[in-house]
Amino acid sequence: MDTMYINDIRAYGYTGALPEENVLGQWFRVDLVLTLDLSPAGLSDVLSDTYDYGTAVQIVQHLIQTKPFKLIEAVASELAKAILRTDERLSEVTVKLTKLSPPVPNFSGSVTLEITRDRAHLDTLSPASLLLDG
């Protein structure tokens, strides 16, 4: 298997456990690692033989901008599922999600989590995934 890295996707969204985060919003950064066989594209030099990473960028930006969540864990999980659903050639996706300015007193750093999901996770439902269908 091969690996495609898509780094530094930024989007402004309304995720957070505090009410003001859902109103004021904040910036998020996402890095993705996609696992798939890239040998067909390497041989053909044809776009349709690889994964169109623009699709993943659009999914990340759209979900963060339009779907409020309480936890970044839920955002990362839904991003992974949404990206896996775009192309059956993807066997696994790692989502590294950073909350660039978390509202923590006397803290000027960021908070990052990283999750890895494979196709088996597509069958799992969560309350957050129900929001995506509506």
Instruction: For residues 89 and 95, give the distance between their C-alpha atoms in angstroms, rounded to a whole number.
Output: 17
Q: Angle at CA 38, nearest 5°, toward 56 and 84?
A: 35
Query: At residue 62, what is the residue type?
Result: H
Q: Name the catalytic one among 70, 81, 96, 99.
A: 99
Instruction: For residues 71 and 51, give the distance between their C-alpha atoms in angstroms, rounded to a whole number.
Output: 29
Residue 99 a catalytic site member: yes
Q: Mind telling me the catalytic residues?
A: 99
